Structures are given as structure tokens and as C-alpha cells.
Structure 1
Amino acid sequence: MTSPFEKMKKIEVINPATEKSIAKVPASVDIPSIYEKARNAQKQWAKQDLQYRIDCISRFQKELENKKDALALTLTQETGKPLWQSLNELRGAGLRIQFFIDNVEKYMQNETITQEEGLLEKIYYEPLGVIGNISAWNYPYLVGVNVFIPALLTGNAVLYKPSEYALLTGLKIESMMQDSGVPKEIFVTIIGDKEEGEKLLDLPLDGYYFTGSHKTGKYIYEKVASKMVPCQLELGGKDAVYVSENNENLAKVVEGVCEGVFYNNGQSCCAVERIYVHTSIYKQFIDLFYEYTKSWVAGDPLDNNTMLGPLTRKEQKKVLQAQLDDALFKGAQAIQLNIKDEPSSYYFPPTILANVSHEMTVMREESFGPIIGIQEVEHLEEAISLMKDTDYGLTSAIYTDEYNEAERLMEEMDTGSVYLNCCDRVSPNLPWAGRKNSGLGLTLSYHGIRSFLQTKAYHIRF
């Protein structure tokens, strides 16, 4: 006899480093019922003293620290991220949680705006209600805590859908939340793929928070628009760096830019995907770039010496190969780094492209992988023009010893973040936001706390 469990839809989890199945996870069922329970429980959660909610999240933070080795191993096994980078992600998540714990009381505090004879004007902040968080696989802890931690602290319930490429991590997050005292109806993991995602979009939620591709984000935005509730989209980027001739220590610049390109195998919305270098140092920069990266190990993500593991999604290889073929056909020169043993077909060799132009897709379309084009430019104004020649608007950076030069470029950039002498950086103190095809709304900073609150204006006459 076939058991009911065998008939359930299951999502298979594949280890991209070995191509072996490591789990088959049952998809969530009766999602409308899950929503109703969350809706009924949310008001009581919001009425809890703020310190109670803070204590729950503090315990969750401690769980992350106490279980970091096991959590990092799971993350590496299902995404292919090098183990040391998984540990870094958990440390970073803990720091972001601390920011929210330290600041939530201040920024959800009701405000008195006017207090005079016969008149009192106040702003009250109230939770949205029940929100949906459709999250990403590339940094499930970091992009997750950006949303669900401030949402919970401000009194919301969260239906959290992890990516199907990070399901086991999503389940561990849910388990730790419950162990930390967050009611099981208040934080619920929705397991599934596109089908379950559609069911989440059909619910009358009070807000939608998505991290992922522009294509999917646009679909979600259009699907929920008629509900007229907040819809935040953290989408992709084609993030650019300009390396000026005004750099005394070019080797140090190369080191920072290389890590911005290849960290997490380039699978980051804010990874460096375009580099523009002043003509006077172009050849030197290319030589230093190769010298710095040629000793990197691309291979087993469990090896502490590994810098680059496999791609998380095998399908992305086709995108990267198409960009490479297009660039070579149009005159680019390529250097590919070696992969140690190449244990699975999910690997793509880290690729450096010189002599590129904006006629090539690698300089115009999101790559989301270990490939980079490095273009020669004559002057700052050319760099600014090329950096602005994109449909995306997440981050942009300049490396220079001349602040006036940096200020000129940063003012021109139509991006949510600009960097001077750094790149691929996110701070909980500052808002994380994209422009154009890179998204809508923001997370982090005090604005990222108020993203989960709605205002109510009090007009009081005596």
C-alpha cells in the first residue's frame, strides 16, 4: 500500500559539488490555512511587550552562533558555497541581527510632532500584519535576516519561502525560531517551488518582500499590484567599478576588486560585473589581476583552501558560456583559471576577459557567475558614461586616491549605493536599495525597520 507521505509533492535537494541527492523535502500543503493561523496569531504577537520580542530574537541570534558549524555545513552542501564563506555569512547575519535589536525600539517609537495649546499632533507606528518573504539562495541568512528579523521585531507575522535551492537552511531557520520562543504560527516556512510561490502571491498578505531576479521580481510586482500593499523587490545588478590612474598602491586595489568579482563565485546581486580601467594602467591592472587570482583554488567547497566552489544552479552555466562565446566572437581575449579535479558538472572556470566593449553581452547583461570583463577607458568622463549605460542601478564604485575625482563619479551614479576604495559591501547602518531594474524599496538601516511599519497620524484638539 502506498503511504500518504509517498504521494506528497517533494522537492529534491542536490549537492552541486557532488551532484548527489541529499534530501527530498515535502512541499507545504494547505497554504491558505497556514495564512489564517498566522493572521489570527499576529495581533497577539504585536501586543506583546517589545522586550519580549527582542528576547526571542536574541535567543535566535545565540542559536546561530552556537550551531554555526552545523548550519554552515548544511548551507555549503545545498548551495556549493565554500565552507569558510558559509561561516562568514552566519557571522554577518549575527551582526545584522544585533543592529536591529539595538535600534528597533528607537525607530518604532511613536513621535510627538506638535504640542501646543489646544493641539497635539503625533505619528504612531503600527505593524503591517502578515507579510510574505520570498527569499534567495545565494545568501539565505543575510538576505533573510534583512527582512524577517525587523518584520518580527515590529510585530508582524512572516510566511517565509526560502529558495528551493536553500530549503534545508530555511527549515533550520524555522526550527531555531520556534526554539527561541517565536510562536509557530508567527514564523512559518513555506516549502516549495514556483507552484507554492504562486499560492503565496494569491493570499491577501499585507506586504510582499522578494529577493531574486528582475524577471521574477517584475512578475511578482505585477501580480500583487491590485492589492495595493507594500511590495519590496531586491533584484539583480550589473555593478561597475572604475579604477583611476590615481592609485599609488594598485596591487591593493586589484586585491579588493578581485574579491568583489569572485566572492561566492560571483553569485551576488552586488558582485562586481564590469571593470573600467584608465588606459595608462590598463595592462598593469590586467597582469596584476591574473597574478592575484591564478593561485586561487576552484574545487571542493569543504576544503578550506577553496576560493570558488560550484555554481548553485547548473542552468547558469549556459548564460555564462553564451556571454563568453559572444565576447570571444566580438574580439575579447580570455584567461580561464583552472578547476581542481572538477568534481561535478556544476563548475564554470573563473574567466577574465580583456579588450571588451559594450557591444558584448558580458558588459550589459547580468552574469551572476565567475566571469568578468575589464574595459580600457581614456578618462573619467568616459568611465562615467559607460558605467551609466545600464538598465540596473544597485551599486557602483571608484578606486582612486583623489577625493574630488571620486566625488564627481559618485554624484553621477544612478545607483542605490556608491563606494570609494571598496566594493561589494553591505552595512546594516545604511539603507540597501536598488534603482531601475535593481528593485524597489529598501532594507537595512533605520529605514529598513520602518519598512515593516505603517504610520497613523493623530490629530488631537483639546
Structure 2
Amino acid sequence: MSFISTNPATGKIIRRFKEHTAAETERKLVDAKRAQSAWRVVPLKNRVRLAMKLAALLRKQKHELGQLMTQEMGKPIRAAIAEIEKCAWATEYFAENAERFLSPEYVKTDASESFISFEPLGIVLGIMPWNFPYWQVLRYAIPALLSGNAAFLKHASTVSGCALRTEELFREAGFPKGLFQVLLIETEKIPAIIADPRVSAVTLTGSERAGSIVASLAGKAVKKSILELGGSDPFIVLADADLAEAAHTGARARLQNAGQSCIAAKRFIVARQKEKLFTKLLAARFKEMIVGDGTDEKTDVGPLSSERMLRGLERQVAESVALGANVVCGGKRIDRAGYFYEPTILTHVKKGMPVYDEEVFGPVAAVIGVKDEEEAIRVANDTPYGLGASVWTKNLARAKRIIPRIESGSVFVNDMVKSDPRLPFGGIKQSGYGRELSGFGLREFTNIKTVYIK
């Protein structure tokens, strides 16, 4: 069995990767267990030193790493390089703050001494998607390793080159053999890894279906799981919003990574009296975007990751239009090699249409007009997802009144939803549970131990 890496801008095969055998996988488990047993007692300052080396390597090799990303999943090269820079920043942030996050917390009780310590769990399995092939990996692996764990990576098969290159970076930085390893295995082999007693926890970024399966497997094995799943983020534009700024940012929020982001703005919920003007401004921005091969530095929007993803997007748009949605711009596949779709805006969007009910993973914005603030909140929450939300208004008191009524893991006011290593990231409802990033995310990979000394 081999994994195939295909350039989504051309549809041509780049490289084939051989699947790891059962014996190779077992050897990796043995190496990981041995490495973690030694690593957990390595002084934190030594772990931090290696993480800082890794950050330096990321910055030094950002162009090479970005090019590989663009080839394997289509991200425009400028955005790909920016992803590597963000990975370096996050690595440095966790290294600089690991001592603060992992230091014991002393609590005054009836004991002579009582405190909370944060200790490693063991081996953490990360099951990661293709859309941010380095960022998704490092944002779990760095906190996990700094906490004293070992990390396995089961990456999306389409970005196996990025996965193996990440493994090489950890070795180049001087991390011990076996501490961070890639598993090139089929999806049906994952249950055995999760069930293996040497694996202590699993974290997944992916679809709600994949999350449900992984949570079930982890639950059966009584192991911790962290899930970052899909999203259908609302982008609420109230009547007093700065429409020009909202449209400018909204275009970036929807079209980042060709719309293939869990936290991309997907449902634009707009005050009805401003809907026409906002849509006009948003369409102007969409039409300015250059769609093309990600290796061209002028490209703003690259291809979708695969033919399967493209066909799924075509279905969602076609069915929505058949149910009454209006195409303002775009609306079809681009007639060229690769998996390109026009930046698209749909209006007259209603419940029951795929672009309202489902997560839309592509450059398609659904505009939904609402009569007032109450309806905006109702529509924003009318989704099984609860990852992020964006609220646009000049009245900050109004925004703060709305924030606790939005069912999501984060709310951004007058800005697009984004991940930041300094802030916890995650969702509620069908968007998952647990948190990544910040001290909260790092401590997800620890045993929070109570110590009481009489």
C-alpha cells in the first residue's frame, strides 16, 4: 500500500510513500515508550533549549517548507510561508512560557503543604488534517513535548511529505530519537494505536464524523481525547458596523486557504437594511482576488485540495441554487487543470439549503439577511457547530451584550476569527471539546496531580 501526494494545482502525482508495516509500527511504539520514559525526567530548561532550536530551523527553512506545502495541498506560497512563521512564533511562545505553565500551583489548605503539579501523560497520538499541514501538527506537538510527553503523528495521507519533513526537523533540532514520529498507516489501523496501552491520549483535528469515531475509541479505552472539529462560523454585520472594513476583512476571513479552514467565516449574517450594500462591497473584494497556482506569488486563492472536495462544493452550491439561492458572483468550477473554484457569493440563503445547514469547505460565502439583533443571534446559533464567531458593530457595549449569547468557543469583535498561541482555541457542540494553545492547551497534555502533605 502506498500514499499518493498530488499537486492540486495540476492534478499530477508528485510522489508515492510506502505505508509502514506492522513490524515498523511496533518498533516505533517501542522507541516512543523508551524515549518518553527518559524525556519525562529531562530538565525543562533542556526541553526549552531544543524547542528554541526548532523555532530557529523553522525560520531558516521557511521558504523550502512553504514550497513543499504549496505543492502538496495548494496553499498560495505567501500564505504557506506565513504559516511556517506562525509555527516558529508559537514554538517560541510555548518555550518561553513553559516554566510558567508547568510550575506547581500552591494552594493553602489544612495540610502543611499542598499544591497542584502538572506531569506528562505518556505518548500522545495526533491525528491531523491537510489544510494547515505544519501548524496543526506543531500546535499540539510542541506543548506535548515540552510537558514531557512523546508524540505520534498520523497525518492526512495527501501531505505525507510535509509530515516526514516535520519529523526531520525535530531530529535536526536535536530531539531524542523516537520522541516525535510519523506513522504512515491507513485509517483502519488507527483503532489499534489508540487501544495500545502504551498510548496515553489522542488529539484530533478533523470532521465531526472522524471526531465521533475517535472519541468512541478513546472512551472505550478510557483515554483522554481532545477534538477540534468542523465549524460554520457566523460573521455578524450589524446595522451600525463599518461596512467597508467588514467587507474587506470578511473577504479574507472567507477566502483564506481557499475557504478550507474550520474557522473561516462561512455564514454572513447581515442587517437587512445593509445587506445589499455589504454584499456589493464583499463582491467587489471577491472579484479582485487572483485565483491560480499557489507557486505564483501573485495568487490570492489557490485550488481546493482534491477532486473529491471540489465535487462536494459543487453539490452544495448547485443544491442551494436549486432551492432558491441567488449567485452574486462565481458559482462554478474554473475550466483548467487542477481543482479550482470561483470565489462565490450566494444571497437569499435560507435554512434547508446545504450552504446554510452544512460546513462549506471552499471559497463560497452565504449571505443571510436578518431584521434585527435578536434574529442575528438566533441564526448565528442555528447550527450544530460552535467553533468561532465574528461580530461587527461600532457599539462595543452592544457587542459585549451579544458575546455571551453566541454559542461558540470564541468571539472576535470587529475582526476575523484567528488562532493565537497566547489564547485558548477550541469549540463546543459538534465542533469538539478540549482546548489547544495557551496555557490551557498545554495543560491538556498533562496529568493535573493533587499533592497533599500533612
Seen in structure 2, the aligned counterparts of structure 1 residues 407 and 341 have a Cα distance that, compared at 3 Å, is closer
- The 2-side partners of 1:193 and 1:274 are apart by 34
- The 1-side partners of 2:427 and 2:69 are apart by 26
Asked if 1:359 is matched to 2:352, the reply is yes
One-letter code aligned to 1:255 = H
Contact residue 298 and residue 340 of structure 1 kept, 8 A: no
**Aligned-pair CA distance for 1:192:** 3.0
Aligned mate of 2:450, from 439, 452, 457? 457
Contact residue 298 and residue 338 of structure 1 kept, 8 A: no
Asked if 1:142 is matched to 2:135, the reply is yes
Instruction: Count the aligned residue pairs.
Output: 451
RMSD of aligned C-alpha atoms? 1.6
SS in 1 for 2:141: helix
One-letter code aligned to 1:446 = G
- The 1-side partners of 2:392 and 2:335 are apart by 34
Contact residue 423 and residue 438 of structure 2 kept, 8 A: yes
Aligned to 1:22: 14
Contact residue 335 and residue 352 of structure 1 kept, 8 A: yes
SS in 2 for 1:315: helix
**Aligned-pair CA distance for 1:313:** 2.4
Aligned to 1:417: 410
Seen in structure 2, the aligned counterparts of structure 1 residues 338 and 411 have a Cα distance that, compared at 3 Å, is closer
Task: Summarize deviations over 1:214-271 as a string: whole Å, max 9, x none.
Answer: 1111011111212212100110001001101102x32111000111001101100100
Asked if 1:12 is matched to 2:4, the reply is yes
**Aligned-pair CA distance for 1:340:** 11
Aligned to 2:150: 157
Contact residue 298 and residue 339 of structure 1 kept, 8 A: no
Aligned mate of 1:96, from 70, 90, 112? 90
- The 2-side partners of 1:399 and 1:119 are apart by 52
- The 2-side partners of 1:421 and 1:88 are apart by 22
- The 2-side partners of 1:429 and 1:196 are apart by 35
Sequence identity percentage? 30
**Aligned-pair CA distance for 1:115:** 6.8
Asked if 1:325 is matched to 2:311, the reply is no
Gaps of 5+ in 1: 1-8
Aligned mate of 1:239, from 225, 229, 233? 233
Task: Summarize deviations over 1:409-435 as a string: whole Å, max 9, x none.
Answer: 211011000110011311111110110
Aligned to 1:195: 188
- The 2-side partners of 1:440 and 1:278 are apart by 31
SS in 1 for 2:300: strand
Task: Summarize deviations over 1:321-341 as a string: whole Å, max 9, x none.
Answer: 121112211211113449997
One-letter code aligned to 2:63 = D
One-letter code aligned to 2:2 = K
Task: Summarize deviations over 1:156-194 as a string: whole Å, max 9, x none.
Answer: 011111211211111111001011111121111111331
- The 1-side partners of 2:13 and 2:232 are apart by 33
- The 2-side partners of 1:212 and 1:176 are apart by 24
Aligned to 1:83: 77
Aligned to 1:429: 422
Aligned to 1:224: 218
- The 1-side partners of 2:186 and 2:159 are apart by 11
- The 2-side partners of 1:434 and 1:343 are apart by 37
SS in 2 for 1:306: coil
SS in 1 for 2:390: strand
Aligned mate of 2:252, from 256, 259, 283? 259
One-letter code aligned to 2:97 = N
Higher mean C-alpha displacement, 182-191 vs 336-345: 336-345
Contact residue 422 and residue 437 of structure 2 kept, 8 A: yes
Equivalent residues in 2 for 1:351-430 (5 A)?
351-430=344-423
SS in 1 for 2:36: helix
One-letter code aligned to 1:88 = A
Contact residue 331 and residue 345 of structure 2 kept, 8 A: no
Asked if 1:211 is matched to 2:205, the reply is yes
One-letter code aligned to 2:395 = E
Aligned mate of 2:286, from 282, 293, 307? 293
Higher mean C-alpha displacement, 361-370 vs 334-343: 334-343
Aligned mate of 1:313, from 302, 306, 317? 306
Higher mean C-alpha displacement, 63-72 vs 189-198: 189-198
Aligned to 1:281: 274
- The 2-side partners of 1:394 and 1:70 are apart by 32
Aligned to 1:4: none
One-letter code aligned to 2:239 = E
Seen in structure 2, the aligned counterparts of structure 1 residues 141 and 345 have a Cα distance that, compared at 3 Å, is closer
Q: TM-score, normalised by structure 1?
A: 0.94
SS in 2 for 1:122: strand
One-letter code aligned to 1:90 = I
- The 2-side partners of 1:286 and 1:335 are apart by 8
Contact residue 28 and residue 196 of structure 1 kept, 8 A: no
Seen in structure 2, the aligned counterparts of structure 1 residues 328 and 341 have a Cα distance that, compared at 3 Å, is closer
One-letter code aligned to 1:458 = V
Q: TM-score, normalised by structure 2?
A: 0.96
